């Protein structure tokens, strides 16, 4: 069985904690590798190496740092298929989805090529007689990031590309479920010209996360994952004096108005609800048709589409709609939530519980499920399922529909499908959710905008990527300088000249 490594100071390094985690092939259920789970000491060594390497990197001019990103983008294109293959084998998502995972991270790296412009700072000439004032954006030093299993290429790149182009060193603690791609990314960054020690990957679990949160050299921590862990990391990181941004779970509603194009809405729900087996924080997991007639029409369109979805391993070709979920525990959790939906009175109109695939009986496959007549008290409505399960909540009016989304504890993404501009505008303005789609089901902002939810989907002030990333990964220093030409004879300022 393959034994994976950390990536420390420019090389793959075996773990020495004696603790390991299993990495599965979700399609077969087999353990395909074991990943070392770092000790506090291993994390601390990586931080020391990073702290030694960072000042020289921080002093490299931004244009040269940006050139590393340019080259990195080229290398990602070169190795796209290889990265996607490794990613699919550990995560289970389809090959096109895996390429999309790499592509969306690559776009953040592309955005980072604009670093010289983003890091320019501000200058005020003659703020007073002989006085100039300027602000610089300086790197923080050593930054850390903790990432989830569901986008093992994109989310690490959301963090480390802006951190590094701003002149920081970065320690990544990726998900222990699919840890191979982050190591390949670190190697590509060095092939692109990044000095050793600036990007290191320390594999692990809570032990290495806690070590990161308490190491005094680490200046900032970024986290993406489930809400309970986001809350814990935000609280602990802030208490330890770090700059912290944490992104949590989601329950994304899509409102379907009576005037919506029902085919478009149904296609959108199927793509966004079941794509990547529902393991996306921007997946739509709740459909909210407005009015009984709209609901009937929508369900009628959805049922045959959901029944037709092809579930299989990524090796079966590009016409597979989604693959297995990530672990057996994830599968059991999804199936028990489905059972709770049935027990609590929801109507299961497409039942995927008996799904099985010949030759892959031990894989973590879950068939597509569609619920109708879900109510807000049910667990399947309140909890994030993170599986191929779409719940339909019938709303009597637009106000009731928008109220549902507004009252849910999560606020990551949402969408409305309508032909009416007034309704769409009202929805976009009033909704208390961070990312909104109008006739767009998964409104993921592009790299040059920022990504982030509201409410329990986020802890911290700044979003991922876009201009916010340059704020998160730098701190501002403002210099006021006075030169003799502004000083009158006798050494006094001519303050009158300022009036």
Determine if 311 is a binding residue for ligand NAD (CB under 6 A): no
Is 143 in the active site? no
Q: How far is the CB of 282 from ligand NAD (least distance, A)?
A: 8
Q: How far is the CB of 130 from ligand NAD (least distance, A)?
A: 49
Residue from 25, 220, 392, 412 in contact with ligand NAD (CB under 6 A): 412
CA distance 314 to 301: 27
**Residue corresponding to tokens 């990726």:** 174
Which helix (H) or strand (E) segment is 288 a member of? strand 284-289
Please, which residue, 101 or 187, has the CB nearer to ligand NAD?
101
Q: Stretches 113-121, 185-193, 201-209, 370-378: which one binds ligand NAD (CB under 6 A)?
A: 201-209
Chain positions 30 to 59 lying near ligand NAD, rule: CB under 6 A, are none
Q: How far is the CB of 435 from ligand NAD (least distance, A)?
A: 9
CA distance 39 to 35: 13
Q: How far is the CB of 395 from ligand NAD (least distance, A)?
A: 24
Residue from 453, 465, 468, 474 in contact with ligand NAD (CB under 6 A): 453
Determine if 229 is a binding residue for ligand NAD (CB under 6 A): yes
Residue from 234, 247, 314, 427 in contact with ligand NAD (CB under 6 A): 247
CA 292 to chain centre: 36
Both structure tokens of 264: 């478009």
Determine if 225 is a binding residue for ligand NAD (CB under 6 A): yes
Residue 216 CB neighbours (<10 A): 9
Task: State the SS3 of 210-259.
Answer: HHHHHCCCEEEEEEECCHHHHHHHHHHHHHCCCEEEEECCCCEEEEECCC
Q: Stretches 149-157, 185-193, 256-264, 359-367: which one binds ligand NAD (CB under 6 A)?
A: 149-157
- What is the total residue count of the chain? 499
Reduced to 3 DSSP states, what percent helix, strand and coil does the chain have, rounded to the nearest 5?
A: 40, 25, 35
Residue from 69, 142, 189, 209 in contact with ligand NAD (CB under 6 A): 209
CA distance 459 to 432: 15
Both structure tokens of 211: 């070590």
Q: Is 433 left (phi over 0), alpha (psi -120 to 50) or beta?
A: beta
Q: Stretches 23-31, 53-61, 78-86, 224-232: which one binds ligand NAD (CB under 6 A)?
A: 224-232
- Residue 259's φ and ψ, nearest 5 degrees, are -90, 5
> On the CB side of 84, how many CA atoms lie within 13 Å of its CA?
22
CA distance 34 to 454: 36
Q: Stretches 63-71, 181-189, 219-227, 373-381: which one binds ligand NAD (CB under 6 A)?
A: 219-227
Determine if 463 is a binding residue for ligand NAD (CB under 6 A): no
Contacts of 190 (CB under 8 A, 6+ apart): 10, 196, 199
Q: Stretches 33-41, 171-179, 260-268, 270-278: which one binds ligand NAD (CB under 6 A)?
A: 171-179
The three-class DSSP label of residue 114 is: coil
Determine if 245 is a binding residue for ligand NAD (CB under 6 A): no
Binding-residue pattern over the window 372 to 411 for ligand NAD, x denoting contact by CB under 6 A: ------------x-x-------------------------
Determine if 176 is a binding residue for ligand NAD (CB under 6 A): yes
Q: How far is the CB of 265 from ligand NAD (least distance, A)?
A: 23
Determine if 470 is a binding residue for ligand NAD (CB under 6 A): no
Q: Which of 112, 143, 246, 281 is catalytic?
A: 281
Residue from 78, 120, 206, 430 in contact with ligand NAD (CB under 6 A): 206
> On the CB side of 422, how many CA atoms lie within 13 Å of its CA?
2
Which helix (H) or strand (E) segment is 415 a member of? strand 413-417
- Provide the binding-site residues for ligand NAD, judged by CB under 6 A: 146-151, 173, 175-176, 205-206, 209, 224-226, 229, 247-250, 281, 384, 386, 412, 453, 457
Residues with active-site annotation: 281
């Amino acid at each position: 069985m393959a034994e994976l490594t950390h990536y420390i100071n420019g090389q793959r390094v075996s773990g020495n904690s004696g603790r390991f985690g299993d990495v599965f092939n979700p399609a077969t259920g087999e353990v395909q590798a074991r990943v070392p789970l770092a000790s506090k000491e291993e994390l601390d060594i990586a931080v020391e190496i990073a702290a030694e390497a960072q000042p020289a990197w921080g002093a490299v001019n931004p244009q040269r740092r940006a050139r590393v990103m340019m080259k990195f983008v080229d290398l990602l294109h070169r190795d796209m298929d290889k990265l996607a293959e490794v990613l699919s084998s550990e995560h289970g998502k389809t090959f096109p989805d895996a390429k999309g995972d790499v592509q969306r991270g690559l776009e953040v790296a592309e955005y980072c090529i604009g670093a010289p412009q983003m890091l320019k700072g501000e200058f005020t000439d003659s703020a007073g007689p002989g006085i100039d004032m300027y602000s610089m954006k300086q790197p923080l030093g050593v930054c850390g990031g903790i990432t989830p299993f569901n986008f093992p290429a994109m989310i690490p790149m959301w963090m480390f590309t802006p951190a590094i182009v701003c002149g920081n060193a970065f320690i990544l603690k990726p998900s222990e479920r699919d840890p191979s791609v982050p190591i390949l990314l670190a190697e590509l960054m060095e092939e692109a010209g990044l000095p050793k020690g600036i990007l290191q990957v320390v594999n692990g679990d809570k032990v290495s996360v806690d070590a990161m949160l308490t190491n005094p050299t680490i200046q900032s921590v970024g986290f993406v994952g489930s809400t309970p862990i986001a809350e814990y990391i935000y609280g602990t990181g802030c208490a330890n004096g770090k700059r912290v941004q944490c992104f949590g779970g989601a329950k994304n509603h899509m409102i379907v108005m009576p005037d919506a194009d029902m085919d478009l809405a149904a296609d959108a729900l199927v793509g966004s609800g079941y794509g990547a087996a529902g393991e996306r924080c921007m997946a739509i997991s709740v459909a909210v048709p407005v009015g009984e007639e709209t609901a009937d029409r929508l369900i009628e369109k959805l049922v045959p589409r959901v029944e037709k979805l092809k579930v299989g391993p990524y090796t079966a070709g590009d016409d597979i709609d989604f693959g297995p979920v990530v672990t057996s525990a994830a599968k059991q959790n999804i199936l028990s939530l489905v059972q709770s939906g049935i027990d609590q009175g929801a109507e299961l109109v497409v039942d995927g519980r008996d799904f099985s695939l010949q030759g892959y009986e031990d894989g973590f496959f879950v068939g597509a499920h569609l619920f109708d007549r879900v109510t807000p008290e049910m667990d399947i409505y309140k909890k994030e399922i993170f599986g191929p399960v779409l719940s339909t909540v019938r709303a009597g009016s637009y106000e009731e529909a928008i109220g549902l989304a507004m009252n849910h504890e999560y606020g990551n993404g949402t969408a409305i499908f309508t032909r009416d501009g007034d309704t769409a505008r009202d929805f976009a303005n009033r909704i208390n959710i961070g990312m909104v789609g109008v006739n767009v089901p998964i409104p993921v902002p592009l790299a040059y905008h920022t990504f982030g939810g509201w409410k329990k989907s986020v802890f911290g002030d700044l979003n991922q990527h876009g201009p916010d990333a340059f704020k998160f990964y730098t701190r501002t220093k403002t210099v006021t300088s006075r030169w003799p030409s502004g000083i009158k004879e006798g050494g006094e300022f001519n303050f009158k000249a300022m009036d």
